[in-house]
Structures are given as structure tokens and as C-alpha cells.
Chains A and B, each alone.
Chain A
Amino acid sequence: MTQKLVVIGAGMASGRVLEHLFEANADYYVTLFNAEARGNYNRIMLSPVLSGEKTYDDIVTHNAEWYTTQGVTCHFGTPITSIDRAAKTVTSTEGTVPYDKLLIATGSAPFIIPVPGKDLDGVVTYRDLDDTNAMIDAAKSGGKAVVIGGGLLGLEAAAGLAERGMDVTVLHLMGHLMERQLDEAAGFLLRRDLEKRGITVKCQASTTAILGTTRVEAVLLDDGETLDADLVVMAVGIRPETRLATDAGLSVARGVEVNAQMETSDPDIIAIGECVEFDGQLFGLVAPLYDQAKVVAKTLMGVPDVFTPKELSTKLKVTGCDLFSAGDFAEAEGREDIVFRDPARGVYRRLVLEDNIVVGAVMYGDTADSNWFFGLIRDKTDISDMRETLIYGPAFQGGAPSDPLSAVAALPRDVEICGCNGICKGQIEDAVHAGATDLGAVRAVTKASGSCGTCTGLVEQVLAVTLGDEFIAPAAASICGCTDMTHEDVRRMIKSRELKSMPAVWQECGWKTSCGCHICRPALNFYLLADWPMEYTDDPQSRFINERKHANIQKDGTFSVVPRMWGGITTPDELRAIADAADKFAVPTVKVTGGQRIDLLGVKGEDLPAIWEDLNNAGMVSGHAYSKGLRTVKTCVGTDHCRFGTQDSTGLGIKLEKTLWGSWTPHKLKLGVSGCPRNCAEATCKDIGIVCVDSGYQISIGGAAGMDVRETEPLCQVKTEAEVIDVVKAVTQLYRENAKYLDRIYKWVAKVGLDWVKESVADLDKRTALKARFEHSQTVYRKDPWAQHVAKSETYRPLADLTLEAAE
């Protein structure tokens, strides 16, 4: 005979139980009660609804039609008020209903901190659609929101409200955000990213009261500070919703106690979800609830099964804040850390090891490999063999790294891809073979990536690998066709694995060509000499002809010659020497450049060493008009002559040029020094610009006047010339060490953020260290290449002259 199953709570856990039951055609007549005035929706997607990325309709999991088809009698907006175990009935406002089996799935209730004002209008929690809609409404009139609680929910609420235009402050009791999931370093990066979106974060902030007469007006902190507020969101934690169970006399600790079959102390009453406690443990994420749902369905059908809690991982659903944490990362005796930081990219990774087993992982900024690390934690893999490179992730294990797809291809079938739904790679493969050939289809069939969605990329990769050529995956931009690695990956490898030669890079990074190409070789050559100035020898054959021959090639194959004129200053003797050289080598064009010096255009390649020698003899050196390195330091006349000059701009320009010349940089580097804000040297459209003022020197960076025209942004102001020179060296070195080849300073700053650059040069220790590394490198590179090449003039001449050889 069909049994009567009554379900209290139409949440994520019970919804999954019903799906399993109906899939198995279990013989139950189901009556479903929900306190919320609606059926089952994907609660974890409330944050995208709040931020406006999704609508409620997008996140409904079971609609009215579904319930009808399955024959479920629904009572929505109808809370159960009591359970009578003896009579086996439940009672709601609408009456009493009998059950054979009862499923309690009441979830949890937000914890309300017991402060005065907690019941004022405008104070909301964050649990269900009504809360979400209340926040959306409040945000319509803009104003200020205070979110109490810097955990997962609080931050998702904060990000959503900020997205909707509110001025948001997050108050967090602890020292850093999400302290249960993140360590301090990751917490810092998260905070920085949130602050970038205009969210104010206050840690160690304890709320004393919520102020207001009828509705909320402000929040009072225990240090006396008051924060104006039009909306207060309390997101400080949750409590299992156990009131019904307690009243019914079931065994309840913090949650409703269940055994491994999910039965409560009354075997006809089963409980699931956030309201339960199993083996002393509570549950607050969907992944374990879905595991419980499988067990509940089996128990209801009389099939033996056992619930075993698994390792859990957390991600935050705030676009642009990529974080991942799993396992236990507290410091303890016998534990070791492996840490990787890439401040330029805002990337942080930390693994916690105990007896060669990863017990915890925290990642920020780049979480692409998180599933692999999660697998290591869950499977307690012995990592001794890959310890050295473990932190770089799966692509770096076992020989040459290859593209991310082959890393996915190499994953075993039982590796979990979708954590929320517990979907393994094999299930996705099977679905693809059964005809699910796009993400939507895979999601429909397996549920993979259908809950929180953070594994979408990974699911796509499995699809790509399984489908092969039929799938065109959006590829991350690699350097060139020789490799699948990005500039950033390669730079990281060069530094971390101490790769000091080009063949080492090709080998270790799995180059697909024998010796690179004209795109990657110049980049690698730069990275190697910037990172290992002492160990690496510059490779002229990996340089574009201009840098190889220290002259600019012309359209007819001749070259131009531009000697330095330090700071734009020259002398009659220099001008005479240039004129003589122009005559002697029959230079067709002599032009004043836009960089305050003279260009001799149309010199034959084989004459270069000779003309250089003449210029050298007159005291001139290469102007590097061809280099990805220091070009010119443009100056104005400054205090020497100008009635407005505040400082010696010409003198400072010359000093800077003499300091920086010869250095190689990711792209060309141009400076300008103006003697006053009239800015006749156009300093504010240079890569680095200095404007002299009465009180000192304003240093700004990131200008350009080529394909993009940009004004510099202020870096700092200093008092002395010596400080200017130090800051310029430091910022140049920071740029050399971190930028992608062929990114001018403005492009690099746009990627790493001006704040980080500012911080790095403002910190005197860092500034000194950067400056020292710059100087170190300059001991090798501050040399006149013309003089060096005059000595090798042989190589500029033809290998053989056969013109006089008699033709047969």
C-alpha cells in the first residue's frame, strides 16, 4: 500500500530527496509543507539574484508543474506548528495531516545578535527570497548599508548591495574576513579586492546597538563610532531550526540528532539538511546535504546505506574575488607550509602539509587548480615525490607541463568535478558520450555546475577533452604558438625554477617548437636577463634586428643612427662631430627627432661600426633609439634660464638619463622632467614624468603619447633629487621584474594596480631593495653597445665578396 510521506520544509535538501524518490518510483504519497510561500529554489544562487546577475525565475528548481506531475500535495506559506508522534500527525495553520514517515528538513535560521534595535525596520537577515527582495528594494533608493558579518553570506550580500549602488560597509568581529575559511594573507587580498569595489571593511568591529526611532538610522560600535545606515544586514551565522523536533521530544543537541541512516531518535522520523547534527557535526553547505539526500531516499525505500561526511571546500560567489579554501590550515606542531605569492597578479596559494599529506589549502586570485588540490586533501595522497613543484599545480607534475586540457584529460574518472552535486569526471564523460554535447546539456543530465556554478570552467574542460575536435574551448592567451603558457606563467617558472637559459625554459615549459619563434624568443630573452642579470648572457639572435645591430632598420634595409644627447643638451663640438660623420658617410637625411636629439638616417649596415667609432671618439654613445629600454629623458631649460623654473630640471634629466641608460625594460621607457607645472618637457605623457615644484618633485607614471594617449598618474612627491633618482630606479626595476614583455608602463599599471606600485616604492625597505637590484643589473648593462660593437665590426661586413670572382 502507498505510504504517506510528509515533508516539512521545501529546501535544497528535501528537494533532492524528492528527486531521488521519484526517479526510483518509490511508492510514497508526498505532502510538502513550506514556511516560505514558494517551492524549492536554489538558495545558494540568491547572491546572483541580489547582485542582479540572475532573476528568481532562473533559480527555481521545482516549479508548480513539476509538483503536479509528481503528484505532490503542496502547502506553501504554511509552517508546521507541531508534530504528534503518538498519533503520527503534523499540524499546521491549515489543519492536521497524518504520516507514515515524516521528513524534517527545516534548514536553519539566521542568528540575530541580541542588541538593542535589532527589530527596527530596515534590519534584515540573509536567508531567503523575501530577505533578498527586501534588500533589492532598499537598494533602489541608494543610501548606506551596513553588513554585520564578514563571512561568506555577509560578503555576498555586501557585494550584491554595492553592485546595486549602495554605499556598503562590512563590520567583522574578527581580525580578517572569512577567518574560518581563509588565513590572514588571503583575507588581506580579499579585503583589497572588495575595497576596490568601493566596499568599506572594518575588522575587529563589535556592534553595540542599532540606532533609530522607527527605522534604522545608524549602527553604534563598541569603540563609540557610529555609522549611518539606511539598511542593516545581519549575517553573523546560522542556527539549526530545531524547534519542532525539540517540542516533539526528539533527541536534539545543537541540531536534530540523526544516525548514519539519517533517522532521528524516532525511526519513523527522518531529518536532513542544516537542521541535523551527525556525529557532533553540523552542516552549512549543500555538498554534504546532497550526500545525505541519497541516504534518506534509500532509507525511505528500505535500502541500507550509510552517510559519511566528506572533506568540504568553500568558494565565494562574488565575481572577481577568486578564492578557495579546504581542509584545515591552522598552524600546528609538525605541520609545514608551502606558500606561493605573486603580488603582481594578486595571487596567493598556501598548502598545509602534515606527514607529506596535504591537510589544507587556501588559494586566492588563481583558483584554477583548486579541484586538484582538493582531491589531494580528500584522498590523503602522499605528495613526497612532487613536493618541489606541488604548489604550481597539476600542470607541473610528472615531466613537461602541458596545456590545462591535458591536465584535465589526465584526471582519473572518479575525480570530483562538481563539489556541490558530487559529480565525478566519469559521470560527465558518460553524459557526453550519451549525447550531451554542450554545457547546458551536461548540466541538465548530471547537475554538474548547476548549483553554485564555480566549476563551470572545469566542466567545460572535461567536455572539451571528451569531445575532442568538436569542441572549441576559449583558450587563455599563450605567448605564441610555441607554447600554451602565458607570459605570466613563464615568468613565474623562470623565477621559481631558476631557469637561467633559453633551452632550460623550452625544456621545462614544454615548448612545442625546437627553438621558439620571433614572438617568444625576444620575450624570453628579456625575462631571463631581467631576472638573472649576472647568470644569463644576452642572446642577440633572439632580438629584433634593431636591438641586435643597435640601430633602426629602414624600409630600404639601411639604418639610422641616433647618438645620446643627455637631457637634450649638446655642444658645438658634438654638433660638429655629427656634421662631419654625416658628410663622411654620405648620410642622406639629418633630422631633429621628437626626443630632443639628432637622427642620421640612411646609413648602410656595413658602415655602422665606422660611424659609431667616429661618434664615440667625439664622446658620444648610443642613444638606444631602437631599444626596449631607456630612450630619452626629455627636459626643459629649468632654473638655468627660465624665469619660472623651480628646480634644475635639465640637470636632473641628465642625471636620470646617465643612471638609466643601457637598461633593458619590457618596452621602451621614456622620461620627461619639467621645471614647473607649465610642463614644457611634456613630462605628464611619458612613462615616468617628473614635474618640479617649489616644494620638491612630483613623480608620476603611466603616460603615453603613441597609439594611446594618456596622462600620467601621480606616484609620489619627494623633496630631493636623490629621492627622485631612487624612486625612478625602484619603479623601473619593479616594472622590469613584473611586467609582460611589450607592455608599456601604463598597460602594466592597469594590470597590477597603481596602489600596489605606490605601496612598493613607498615602503623604504622595498624601495632600497629594488634600487639595489636595478644597480646590480646596471653593472652589466650600462655600457655603450656601439663601443662594444666597434670591436666586432667584422660581423657587420659581408662574409664573402664574390662580385669580383669571374663568372664562368
Chain B
Amino acid sequence: MSAQSDNWIDIAALDAVPQRGARLIKTAHGCVAVFRTGIDEVYALDNACPHKNGPLADGIVHGKAVTCPLHNWVISLETGAAQGADTGQVATYPAKVVDGRIQIDASLLTHRGVA
């Protein structure tokens, strides 16, 4: 379960991220990738593949998953878990869209992954 918080930070307009694409947020802990799916859901994950730290934001987004650009691991955007035969986990962060704006849980600034 994701930790609940009412401390949401406004990040950017939804349209700043292409459908089936991602953009980065720089944080003190490293880069977090914000994904937008084909049906306009948003997800936030550490931008480092559990395999060899591949930049997930540069992958191909399909359904609720992203394929890492380096060696094609498929990572669930919902859980951060590697799919199929691969094992590994990326930290995920609560994210949502309100009035066409992307918001991220501010706990992201203090904690590592919460999910």
C-alpha cells in the first residue's frame, strides 16, 4: 500500500509528457521518471532499471509497463517489479493528475521509495 499524504506538489502540465512517454524529475536522491500511459494515467518510478540502472524514462511505454532501453527488461509502472522471468524492483512514488496537472507526493523529497 502506498503511504497516504496530503502533501502533493504540482510538477507540470500533463501535456508536457507525451502519451506513452516519460520525463525526468531531478531530486536530491537522483532522477525520478514520470510516465504517462496511453490512457493518461501517470506513474513515478526511480529512473534506474533494477538490472543495470538503465534509464527507464528512455524506454518504450506499453500498457502499464515500460521496456528498459538497455536490455529490454519489462518493468511494471504500477508496482515497479520486473516482469516475466526477470526479478528486481524499482521504487515507485504516488503520482496523480488533477485538472490536467501532474502532482507528486512530496514525501518523494524526503524518502526513498514508498511503495
Q: Point out the residues of chain B lying under 8 angstroms from A557, CB to CB.
A: 53-55, 58
Known contacts A513-B63, A521-B60, A553-B58: A541-B52 contact under CB 8 Å? no
List CB contacts (< 8 Å) of B87-113 with chain A. Answer: 102, 106, 108-110
CB pair B24–A541 under 8 Å, yes or no, is no
Closest residue of chain A to B68 (Cβ to Cβ) is A518
Q: Mark B51-88, 1 if CB is under 8 A from A, else 0.
A: 01111001111110001011010100000000000000
Q: Point out the residues of chain B lying under 8 angstroms from A540, CB to CB.
A: 18, 21
Q: Mark A499-521, 1 if CB is under 8 A from B, else 0.
A: 00000000000000111111001
Q: Answer yes or no: A544 CB below 8 A from chain B CBs.
A: yes
Closest residue of chain A to B102 (Cβ to Cβ) is A799
CB pair B55–A802 under 8 Å, yes or no, is no
Q: Point out the residues of chain A lying under 8 angstroms from B70, CB to CB.
A: 553, 555
Q: Point out the residues of chain A lying under 8 angstroms from B34, CB to CB.
A: 799
Closest residue of chain A to B20 (Cβ to Cβ) is A541
Q: Mark A783-797, 1 if CB is under 8 A from B, else 0.
A: 000000000000100
Compute how far the CA of A802 lies from the CA of B61 in the bound complex, rounded to whole angstroms: 24
Q: Mark A699-721, 1 if CB is under 8 A from B, else 0.
A: 00000000000000000000000
Q: Point out the residues of chain A lying under 8 angstroms from B61, CB to CB.
A: 541
Q: Answer yes or no: A333 CB below 8 A from chain B CBs.
A: no
Q: Point out the residues of chain A lying under 8 angstroms from B63, CB to CB.
A: 513-515, 517
Q: Answer yes or no: A535 CB below 8 A from chain B CBs.
A: no
Nearest chain B CB to A804 CB, angstrom units: 9
Q: Answer yes or no: B115 CB below 8 A from chain A CBs.
A: no
Q: Point out the residues of chain B lying under 8 angstroms from A441, CB to CB.
A: none
Nearest chain B CB to A241 CB, angstrom units: 66
Q: Point out the residues of chain A lying under 8 angstroms from B54, CB to CB.
A: 557
CB pair A517–B23 under 8 Å, yes or no, is no
Nearest chain B CB to A771 CB, angstrom units: 34
Compute how far the CA of A541 lies from the CA of B70 in the bound complex, rounded to whole angstroms: 16
Compute how far the CA of A518 lies from the CA of B16 in the bound complex, rounded to whole angstroms: 22
Mostly helix, strand, loop or mixed at chain A's interface? loop
Q: Point out the residues of chain B lying under 8 angstroms from A605, CB to CB.
A: 55, 58
How big is chain B's contact interface, by range?
Answer: 35 or more
Q: Answer yes or no: B114 CB below 8 A from chain A CBs.
A: no
CB pair B72–A514 under 8 Å, yes or no, is no
Q: Mark A518-536, 1 if CB is under 8 A from B, else 0.
A: 1001100000000000000
CB pair A549–B58 under 8 Å, yes or no, is yes
Q: Point out the residues of chain A lying under 8 angstroms from B109, CB to CB.
A: 802, 805, 807-808
CB pair B62–A518 under 8 Å, yes or no, is yes
Compute how far the CA of A645 lies from the CA of B52 in the bound complex, rounded to whole angstroms: 50
Nearest chain A CB to B99 CB, angstrom units: 17
Q: Point out the residues of chain B lying under 8 angstroms from A543, CB to CB.
A: 60
Q: Answer yes or no: A414 CB below 8 A from chain B CBs.
A: no
Known contacts A553-B70, A808-B110: A802-B60 contact under CB 8 Å? no
Compute how far the CA of A514 lies from the CA of B37 in the bound complex, rounded to whole angstroms: 11
CB pair A518–B72 under 8 Å, yes or no, is yes
CB pair A515–B38 under 8 Å, yes or no, is yes
CB pair A799–B17 under 8 Å, yes or no, is yes
Q: Answer yes or no: A475 CB below 8 A from chain B CBs.
A: no
A residues within 8 Å of B by Cβ? 513-518, 521-522, 540-545, 548-549, 553, 555, 557, 605, 795, 798-803, 805, 807-808
Q: Which 5 A/B pairs are nearest by Cβ-Cβ distance? A: A518-B67, A799-B23, A545-B58, A518-B60, A541-B20
26 A-B residue pairs with Cβ-Cβ distance under 8 Å, sorted by A, are A514-B63, A515-B20, A515-B38, A515-B63, A516-B62, A517-B63, A517-B67, A518-B67, A518-B72, A518-B74, A522-B60, A541-B18, A541-B19, A541-B60, A543-B60, A544-B69, A549-B58, A553-B58, A553-B70, A605-B58, A798-B26, A798-B31, A800-B12, A800-B25, A801-B26, A803-B28
A514-B38, A541-B18 known; 9 other A-B pairs, CB under 8 Å?
A515-B63, A518-B59, A541-B20, A542-B60, A553-B70, A795-B18, A799-B24, A800-B11, A800-B25
